[in-house]
């Protein structure tokens, strides 16, 4: 079968991401990956209304990526949105803006679909498919917890726990105060105990009875944690996926990041300057999940939901 060049544009709460790949069946060979931070979820969570400026910036980024995909002869372009768009009271404003900007139809996917794609993508072409796995995809507006082994999922759920959502719920000074850190940490730990554990624990316990379970992260936050550990500003898929982030490393990173002003965080190797604010709730979520559920190591997958989405041929 001849491979087809396809593109997917992922409209997230924090950023818009492009994946262009040559696809042959389930084999996905990435050609180009780009990201633009548009912060669609800015000033969103009090009213759940997408703001005009954020909509405009997001539609512009989608149009730029669509033009790039067309120049590179993509046979199909798929545009989908996740947490902020599905929680919004005015999603049609975003749909209309994107259609006007580039003529493409925006799909707003469910949390269940997001979890499904995250698992499919993360376990494609890696050793993560060979072991019992708890996959965590921390996004701007939601986090997906997926438990599975060998392509079979025993648990998949999307929770309203995200970096932008948390940053707006618990704004902080520059640098953050200890009181601000503790307030945010306590809320995350309570959320995990009251909302996530009752849903996840039975499935997690059953999987643990048959052997060890590996924790893996996918998405921007996990990738950045690996790049900071590697002290690398380059995106090297092999190095990132080979990183072993211990709980002690994550906790040391957490303490360091929450102690620094924004200007100093922007100078940290591996941490993109545009992500120096949202990394605070991001690293806190990962550290809290590891502590709450007893994981001592985090592995990272750079193949998330976009890898699964691009394997589905939708003409555009």
pLDDT digits (tens, 9 = 90+) for 75-108: 999 999 999 999 999 999 999 999 999 999 999 9
Banded pLDDT at 316 (limits 50, 70, 90): very low
Q: In this structure, which CATH number among 3.40.50.300, 3.30.420.150, 1.20.200.10, 1.25.40.10 belongs to the domain 127-301?
A: 3.30.420.150
Alpha helical stretches, state H, 210-278: 220-230, 237-242, 247-259, 262-265
Tokens matching residue 125: 């072409």
DSSP 8-state assignment for residue 140: S
Q: What is the pLDDT of residue 2?
A: 75
Domains 4-109 and 127-301 share a fold: yes
* Distance, CA of 304 to CA of 219 (rounded, Å): 6
Helix (H, G, I), strand (E, B) or coil at 23: strand
Rounded to the nearest 10 degrees, the angle between the axes of helix 91-102 and helix 52-71 is 40
Q: Where are the domains of the chain?
A: 4-109, 127-301
* Distance, CA of 238 to CA of 118 (rounded, Å): 19
Q: For 4-109, CATH number?
A: 3.30.420.40
Among 66, 6, 3, smallest CA distance to 306 is for 6
Determine the average pLDDT of the residues in 267-280. 97
**Which has the higher per-residue pLDDT, 26 or 213?**
213
* Distance, CA of 122 to CA of 134 (rounded, Å): 11
Enter the pTM of the model: 0.94
pLDDT digits (tens, 9 = 90+) for 208-233: 776 789 999 999 999 999 999 999 99
The answer to whether 145 and 134 have CB atoms below 8 angstroms apart is yes
């Amino acid at each position: 079968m001849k491979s087809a060049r396809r593109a997917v544009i992922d409209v997230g709460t924090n950023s818009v991401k492009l994946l262009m790949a040559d696809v042959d069946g389930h084999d996905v060979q990435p050609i180009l990956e780009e990201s633009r931070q548009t912060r669609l979820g800015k000033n969103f969570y009090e009213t759940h209304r997408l703001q005009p400026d954020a909509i405009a910036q997001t539609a512009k980024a989608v149009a730029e990526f669509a033009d790039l995909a067309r120049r590179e002869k993509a046979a199909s372009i798929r545009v989908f949105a996740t947490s902020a768009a599905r929680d919004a009271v005015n999603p049609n404003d975003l749909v209309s803006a994107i259609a006007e900007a580039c003529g493409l139809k925006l799909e707003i996917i469910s949390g269940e679909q997001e979890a499904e794609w995250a698992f499919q993508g993360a376990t494609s072409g890696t050793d993560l498919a060979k072991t019992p796995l708890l996959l965590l995809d921390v996004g701007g507006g939601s986090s997906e917890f997926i438990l599975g082994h060998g392509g079979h999922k025993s648990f998949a759920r999307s929770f309203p726990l995200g970096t932008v959502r948390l940053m707006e719920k618990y704004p902080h000074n520059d640098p953050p105060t200890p009181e601000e850190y503790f307030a945010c940490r306590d809320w995350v730990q309570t959320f995990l105990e009251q909302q996530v554990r009752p849903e996840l624990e039975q499935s997690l316990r059953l999987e643990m009875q048959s052997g060890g379970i590996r924790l893996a992260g996918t998405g921007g936050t996990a990738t950045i944690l690996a790049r900071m550990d590697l002290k690398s500003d380059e995106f090297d898929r092999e190095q990132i996926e080979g990183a072993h982030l211990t709980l002690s490393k994550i906790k040391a990173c957490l303490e360091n990041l929450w102690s620094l002003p924004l200007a100093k965080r922007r100078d940290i190797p591996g941490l993109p300057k545009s992500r120096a604010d949202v990394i605070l709730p991001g690293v806190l979520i990962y550290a809290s999940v590891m502590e709450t559920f007893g994981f001592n190591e985090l592995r990272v997958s750079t193949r998330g939901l976009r890898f699964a989405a691009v394997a589905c041929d939708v003409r555009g």
